[in-house]
A and B are shown apart, each in its own frame.
Chain A
Protein backbone atom coordinates (compact mmCIF):
# COMPACT_ATOMS: atom_id res chain seq x y z
CA UNK A 1 0.00 0.00 0.00
CA UNK A 2 1.30 3.47 -0.81
CA UNK A 3 2.59 5.28 2.25
CA UNK A 4 0.11 8.17 1.99
CA UNK A 5 -2.87 5.81 1.72
CA UNK A 6 -1.54 3.72 4.59
CA UNK A 7 -1.16 6.80 6.78
CA UNK A 8 -4.62 8.08 5.87
CA UNK A 9 -6.17 4.77 6.94
CA UNK A 10 -5.09 5.45 10.55
CA UNK A 11 -7.69 7.24 12.71
CA UNK A 12 -6.36 10.63 13.78
CA UNK A 13 -4.26 11.30 10.68
CA UNK A 14 -5.62 14.56 9.28
CA UNK A 15 -3.64 14.75 6.05
CA UNK A 16 -0.57 13.22 4.45
CA UNK A 17 1.38 13.98 1.31
CA UNK A 18 4.55 13.91 -0.72
CA UNK A 19 6.55 16.84 -2.03
CA UNK A 20 9.42 17.39 -4.43
CA UNK A 21 12.52 19.58 -4.46
CA UNK A 22 10.96 22.94 -5.18
CA UNK A 23 7.96 22.27 -2.98
CA UNK A 24 5.62 23.09 -5.84
CA UNK A 25 5.11 19.51 -7.03
CA UNK A 26 3.11 17.61 -4.50
CA UNK A 27 0.38 15.09 -3.94
CA UNK A 28 -1.72 14.66 -0.84
CA UNK A 29 -4.82 13.20 0.74
CA UNK A 30 -6.90 14.46 3.62
CA UNK A 31 -8.26 17.66 5.05
CA UNK A 32 -6.21 20.25 3.17
CA UNK A 33 -7.08 22.42 0.19
CA UNK A 34 -4.76 22.38 -2.84
CA UNK A 35 -3.39 25.76 -1.78
CA UNK A 36 -2.79 24.65 1.82
CA UNK A 37 -1.10 21.47 0.60
CA UNK A 38 1.15 23.59 -1.64
CA UNK A 39 2.03 25.78 1.34
CA UNK A 40 2.64 22.72 3.54
CA UNK A 41 4.94 21.25 0.89
CA UNK A 42 7.02 24.43 0.67
CA UNK A 43 7.18 24.68 4.47
CA UNK A 44 8.25 21.06 4.84
CA UNK A 45 10.86 21.37 2.12
CA UNK A 46 12.27 24.51 3.77
CA UNK A 47 12.49 22.90 7.21
CA UNK A 48 13.98 19.71 5.79
CA UNK A 49 16.76 21.57 4.00
CA UNK A 50 17.37 23.69 7.11
CA UNK A 51 17.84 20.75 9.49
CA UNK A 52 20.04 19.04 6.90
CA UNK A 53 22.25 22.10 6.76
CA UNK A 54 22.47 22.04 10.57
CA UNK A 55 23.42 18.37 10.60
CA UNK A 56 26.32 19.11 8.25
CA UNK A 57 27.59 21.66 10.76
CA UNK A 58 27.26 19.09 13.59
CA UNK A 59 29.20 16.67 11.45
CA UNK A 60 32.06 19.12 11.15
CA UNK A 61 32.24 19.23 14.98
CA UNK A 62 31.99 15.50 15.50
CA UNK A 63 32.27 13.33 12.41
CA UNK A 64 29.90 10.35 12.34
CA UNK A 65 28.17 11.48 15.50
CA UNK A 66 24.97 9.81 14.31
CA UNK A 67 22.84 12.72 13.14
CA UNK A 68 23.68 12.80 9.44
CA UNK A 69 21.89 12.40 7.10
CA UNK A 70 18.80 13.75 8.81
CA UNK A 71 15.79 11.49 8.34
CA UNK A 72 13.06 13.94 9.29
CA UNK A 73 11.62 16.25 11.91
CA UNK A 74 8.55 16.70 14.10
CA UNK A 75 6.73 19.82 15.23
CA UNK A 76 4.55 19.10 18.26
CA UNK A 77 1.67 21.57 18.44
CA UNK A 78 -0.93 21.93 21.15
CA UNK A 79 -3.41 19.58 19.47
CA UNK A 80 -1.80 18.80 16.12
CA UNK A 81 1.62 17.40 15.23
CA UNK A 82 3.39 17.73 11.90
CA UNK A 83 5.79 14.92 10.97
CA UNK A 84 8.16 14.88 8.00
CA UNK A 85 10.29 11.92 6.93
CA UNK A 86 12.24 12.18 3.67
CA UNK A 87 9.90 13.92 1.25
CA UNK A 88 6.68 12.81 2.97
CA UNK A 89 4.69 14.76 5.51
CA UNK A 90 1.69 14.14 7.72
CA UNK A 91 -0.56 16.22 9.93
CA UNK A 92 -1.87 14.19 12.86
CA UNK A 93 -3.97 14.71 15.96
CA UNK A 94 -2.26 14.45 19.35
CA UNK A 95 -3.76 11.10 20.35
CA UNK A 96 -2.13 8.51 22.58
CA UNK A 97 0.39 6.38 20.68
CA UNK A 98 -0.49 7.90 17.31
CA UNK A 99 2.80 9.79 16.91
CA UNK A 100 4.84 6.66 17.61
CA UNK A 101 2.74 4.62 15.15
CA UNK A 102 2.97 7.24 12.41
CA UNK A 103 6.72 7.69 12.83
CA UNK A 104 7.27 3.92 12.78
CA UNK A 105 5.30 3.59 9.55
CA UNK A 106 6.94 6.58 7.89
CA UNK A 107 10.46 5.46 8.82
CA UNK A 108 9.77 1.90 7.67
CA UNK A 109 8.10 2.86 4.40
CA UNK A 110 10.42 5.70 3.38
CA UNK A 111 13.55 3.81 4.43
CA UNK A 112 16.80 5.46 5.40
CA UNK A 113 17.27 8.78 3.64
CA UNK A 114 20.62 8.73 1.87
CA UNK A 115 23.24 11.44 1.89
CA UNK A 116 22.24 13.32 -1.22
CA UNK A 117 18.92 14.78 -0.19
CA UNK A 118 18.76 17.37 -2.97
CA UNK A 119 19.19 14.74 -5.65
CA UNK A 120 16.50 12.59 -4.02
CA UNK A 121 14.03 15.43 -3.82
CA UNK A 122 14.80 16.82 -7.26
CA UNK A 123 14.54 13.38 -8.86
CA UNK A 124 10.80 13.48 -8.16
CA UNK A 125 10.52 16.15 -10.85
CA UNK A 126 11.92 13.83 -13.51
CA UNK A 127 14.47 14.65 -16.20
CA UNK A 128 18.22 14.76 -15.80
CA UNK A 129 18.68 15.47 -12.11
CA UNK A 130 22.45 16.00 -12.24
CA UNK A 131 22.24 18.37 -15.16
CA UNK A 132 19.48 20.37 -13.48
CA UNK A 133 21.29 20.59 -10.16
CA UNK A 134 24.91 20.93 -11.17
Chain B
Protein backbone atom coordinates (compact mmCIF):
# COMPACT_ATOMS: atom_id res chain seq x y z
CA UNK B 1 0.00 0.00 0.00
CA UNK B 2 1.69 3.18 -1.13
CA UNK B 3 0.03 6.06 0.70
CA UNK B 4 2.58 8.55 -0.62
CA UNK B 5 1.55 7.64 -4.17
CA UNK B 6 -2.11 8.21 -3.27
CA UNK B 7 -1.15 11.62 -1.92
CA UNK B 8 -0.06 12.49 -5.48
CA UNK B 9 -3.72 12.43 -6.57
CA UNK B 10 -5.08 15.89 -7.43
CA UNK B 11 -6.27 17.62 -4.26
CA UNK B 12 -5.33 14.74 -1.93
CA UNK B 13 -5.61 15.80 1.72
CA UNK B 14 -5.12 12.41 3.37
CA UNK B 15 -4.55 8.78 2.55
CA UNK B 16 -5.14 5.97 4.98
CA UNK B 17 -5.50 2.24 5.53
CA UNK B 18 -7.71 0.46 8.01
CA UNK B 19 -8.50 -3.00 9.30
CA UNK B 20 -11.60 -5.02 8.38
CA UNK B 21 -13.17 -3.63 11.56
CA UNK B 22 -12.40 -0.07 10.56
CA UNK B 23 -9.49 0.61 12.91
CA UNK B 24 -7.10 3.15 11.41
CA UNK B 25 -3.79 1.40 10.68
CA UNK B 26 -1.70 3.94 8.80
CA UNK B 27 -2.22 7.40 7.42
CA UNK B 28 -0.62 10.40 5.76
CA UNK B 29 -2.05 13.90 6.27
CA UNK B 30 -1.39 16.95 4.08
CA UNK B 31 0.17 19.70 6.14
CA UNK B 32 -2.35 22.39 7.03
CA UNK B 33 -5.46 20.24 6.59
CA UNK B 34 -8.17 20.38 9.25
CA UNK B 35 -8.39 16.60 9.23
CA UNK B 36 -6.97 14.76 12.23
CA UNK B 37 -6.10 11.10 12.91
CA UNK B 38 -9.24 10.97 15.10
CA UNK B 39 -11.44 12.06 12.19
CA UNK B 40 -9.71 9.57 9.88
CA UNK B 41 -10.32 6.80 12.39
CA UNK B 42 -14.02 7.60 12.50
CA UNK B 43 -14.07 7.98 8.73
CA UNK B 44 -12.47 4.56 8.31
CA UNK B 45 -15.13 2.97 10.51
CA UNK B 46 -17.92 4.62 8.50
CA UNK B 47 -16.23 3.48 5.28
CA UNK B 48 -16.28 -0.15 6.38
CA UNK B 49 -19.97 0.18 7.27
CA UNK B 50 -20.84 1.95 4.02
CA UNK B 51 -19.00 -0.59 1.90
CA UNK B 52 -20.84 -3.42 3.65
CA UNK B 53 -24.20 -1.72 3.10
CA UNK B 54 -23.40 -0.93 -0.55
CA UNK B 55 -22.31 -4.52 -1.11
CA UNK B 56 -25.56 -5.80 0.35
CA UNK B 57 -27.56 -3.38 -1.80
CA UNK B 58 -25.64 -4.38 -4.94
CA UNK B 59 -26.27 -8.05 -4.26
CA UNK B 60 -29.93 -7.46 -3.50
CA UNK B 61 -30.42 -5.18 -6.50
CA UNK B 62 -28.97 -7.76 -8.88
CA UNK B 63 -31.11 -10.53 -7.37
CA UNK B 64 -34.36 -8.54 -7.49
CA UNK B 65 -33.95 -6.76 -10.82
CA UNK B 66 -31.86 -9.25 -12.78
CA UNK B 67 -29.56 -6.37 -13.77
CA UNK B 68 -25.86 -7.19 -13.57
CA UNK B 69 -22.70 -5.11 -13.37
CA UNK B 70 -22.84 -3.98 -9.75
CA UNK B 71 -20.84 -6.82 -8.19
CA UNK B 72 -18.12 -7.07 -7.13
CA UNK B 73 -18.10 -3.64 -5.59
CA UNK B 74 -15.14 -1.49 -6.69
CA UNK B 75 -15.46 1.32 -4.20
CA UNK B 76 -17.56 3.85 -2.35
CA UNK B 77 -17.33 7.60 -1.99
CA UNK B 78 -19.02 10.18 0.22
CA UNK B 79 -19.03 13.70 -1.20
CA UNK B 80 -18.83 16.26 1.57
CA UNK B 81 -19.08 20.03 1.31
CA UNK B 82 -15.36 20.62 0.82
CA UNK B 83 -13.88 17.17 0.32
CA UNK B 84 -14.75 13.66 -0.76
CA UNK B 85 -13.53 10.40 0.69
CA UNK B 86 -12.98 7.57 -1.80
CA UNK B 87 -12.45 4.06 -0.45
CA UNK B 88 -12.14 0.49 -1.58
CA UNK B 89 -11.15 -2.59 0.37
CA UNK B 90 -8.91 -1.43 3.21
CA UNK B 91 -7.62 1.88 1.92
CA UNK B 92 -9.00 5.32 1.25
CA UNK B 93 -8.09 8.80 0.16
CA UNK B 94 -9.60 12.18 1.03
CA UNK B 95 -9.56 14.65 -1.87
CA UNK B 96 -10.53 18.32 -2.11
CA UNK B 97 -13.73 18.68 -4.17
CA UNK B 98 -12.48 21.50 -6.35
CA UNK B 99 -9.56 19.36 -7.57
CA UNK B 100 -11.05 15.89 -7.34
CA UNK B 101 -10.65 13.33 -10.10
CA UNK B 102 -13.05 10.59 -9.01
CA UNK B 103 -11.96 8.09 -11.63
CA UNK B 104 -8.28 8.44 -10.78
CA UNK B 105 -9.13 8.20 -7.09
CA UNK B 106 -11.14 5.00 -7.54
CA UNK B 107 -8.33 3.54 -9.65
CA UNK B 108 -5.80 4.43 -6.97
CA UNK B 109 -7.73 2.79 -4.13
CA UNK B 110 -8.47 -0.25 -6.29
CA UNK B 111 -4.76 -0.62 -6.97
CA UNK B 112 -4.10 -0.26 -3.25
Contacts and interface: CB of A to CB of B under 8 A. Distances in A.
Contacts of B102: 74, 99-100, 103
Interface stretch (A3-11, A18-26, A50-58, A119-127): A50-58
B70 A39 contact: no
Nearest to B65: A36
Majority SS of interface residues in chain B? mixed
A76 B76 contact: yes
B76 A73 contact: yes
B109 to A, nearest CB: 9
Question: How many interface residues does chain B have, given as a range?
Answer: 35 or more
Interface in A42-98: 43, 47, 50-51, 54-55, 57-58, 61-62, 64-80, 82, 85, 94, 96-97
Given A66-B80, A73-B76, A100-B102, A54 B46 contact: yes
A34 interface: no
A70 B80 CA distance: 4
A127 to B, nearest CB: 29
B42 A74 contact: no
Given A54-B46, A96-B103, A103-B102, A74 B79 contact: yes
B34 A66 contact: yes
Interface stretch (B1-9, B20-28, B49-57): B49-57
A50 B53 CA distance: 10
Interface string B43-82: 1001000100110011001001101111111111111111
Contacts of A67: 78, 80-83, 85
Nearest to A112: B81
A91 to B, nearest CB: 9
B57 A61 contact: no
A67 to B, nearest CB: 3
Contacts of B64: 39
B35 interface: yes
Contacts of A112: 81
B34 A73 contact: no
Given A58-B39, A61-B42, A64-B34, A76 B106 contact: yes
16 contacts: A36-B65, A47-B54, A50-B50, A50-B53, A61-B39, A67-B82, A71-B81, A71-B97, A74-B76, A75-B73, A76-B75, A76-B88, A77-B73, A80-B67, A80-B70, A103-B102
